[in-house]
């Protein structure tokens, strides 16, 4: 394991430690302010942005995609479908892999144009099934921009990161396009037979370059100390009402009444009889991340790995059992 681990209980940090390198070349060590790519753990911030806009009356969960993207080629899909992975939209990554000019950086707008041009079939009718879907959260990023008049990065900075004093957190999708380098950055590495290498240098991982500018489903970068502030904000309802947040933590029901085990940006487990848990993992070449919250006991586990630690789900489960004394 190469990365950082933090466990908190309510307002108290009970364990915090970093292991290994932020940079395998320079041998710079990780610390509690090292900045990691959160990958799909970004989705909880995207969902929060949508919830903030909903409370402000800028959008409704029942709004169709076409309200904000009028020429989007798939119909009868709502914002709630996007939030809960029940849209049935095709995977944009597969579309880009097949058709995109890999010498160019793709954007969210490019994804829309590709869908309009090729119109791959949907996976299922909206709200009839659940399938984890990065396309939905990339479209939510576009909707946030349309509803707010700000870029995705600007909206998250002004309405989440700045109010919570998450000073080391940002949407970071410029490292490869403009070569912007952040101080104390935890570079993500992939294990090779000769050691560890950055994915940019490996043929099978070139998509980390041409997909680097896409937002919504990933690209929020943060530190474990900033994520503690985020955790406290969720506990204290600092950004939105408790009733709104409760919706995010509630498993969505499909048309047939079956629960999807996913709310708004979080997987959900447990009920009134069992410990309620919300969690999300993230994976991108060089990174594995995991954020888990035990809602009833106010305990949180944060794991950030920059060497694709393969047993991160097992580690999160073991830590959760320890803090539950189970």
Residues annotated as catalytic (active site), given as ranges = 40
Strands (E), the chain: 3-9, 12-19, 21-23, 28-29, 36-37, 170-171, 190-192, 195-197, 220-222, 267-269, 277-284, 287-294, 299-305
C-alpha radius of gyration, the chain, whole number: 19
- In angstroms, the Cα distances linking 43 to 21, 73, 121, 127, 320 are 26, 23, 24, 19, 22
Distance from C-alpha of 123 to C-alpha of 59, rounded to nearest angstrom: 26
The H-or-E segment that residue 93 falls in is helix 92-99
Cα distance between residue 79 and residue 279, in whole Å: 21
* Count of C-beta atoms within a 10 Å radius of residue 96: 19
């Amino acid at each position: 394991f190469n990365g950082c681990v933090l466990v908190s209980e309510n307002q108290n940090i009970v364990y915090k430690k970093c292991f290994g390198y932020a940079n395998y070349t320079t041998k710079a060590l990780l610390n509690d302010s090292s900045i990691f790519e959160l990958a799909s753990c970004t989705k909880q911030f995207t969902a929060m942005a949508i919830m903030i806009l909903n409370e402000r009356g800028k959008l409704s969960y029942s709004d169709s995609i076409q309200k904000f993207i009028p020429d989007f080629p798939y119909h009868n899909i709502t914002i709630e479908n996007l939030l809960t992975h029940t849209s049935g939209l095709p995977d944009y990554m597969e579309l880009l892999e097949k058709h995109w000019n890999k010498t160019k950086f793709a954007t969210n707008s490019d994804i829309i144009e590709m869908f309009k041009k090729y119109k791959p079939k949907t996976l299922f009718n909206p709200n009839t099934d659940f399938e984890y879907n990065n396309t939905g959260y990339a479209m939510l990023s576009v909707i946030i921009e349309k509803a707010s008049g700000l870029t995705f990065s600007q909206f998250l900075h002004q309405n989440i990161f700045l109010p919570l004093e998450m000073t080391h957190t940002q949407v970071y999708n410029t490292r490869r396009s403009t070569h912007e380098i952040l101080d104390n950055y935890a570079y993500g590495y992939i294990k090779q037979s000769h050691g560890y290498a950055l994915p940019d240098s490996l043929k099978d991982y070139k998509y980390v370059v041409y997909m680097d500018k896409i937002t919504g489903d990933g690209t929020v970068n943060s530190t474990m100390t900033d994520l503690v502030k985020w955790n406290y904000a969720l506990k204290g309802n600092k950004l939105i009402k408790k009733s709104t947040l409760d919706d995010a933590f509630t498993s969505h029901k499909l048309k047939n009444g079956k629960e999807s085990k996913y709310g708004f940006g979080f997987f959900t487990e447990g009920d009134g009889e069992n410990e309620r848990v919300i969690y999300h993992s993230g994976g991108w070449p060089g990174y594995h991340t995991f954020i888990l919250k035990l809602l009833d006991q106010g305990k949180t586990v944060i794991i950030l790995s920059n060497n694709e630690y393969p047993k991160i789900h097992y580690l999160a489960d073991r830590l959760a059992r320890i803090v539950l004394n189970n």
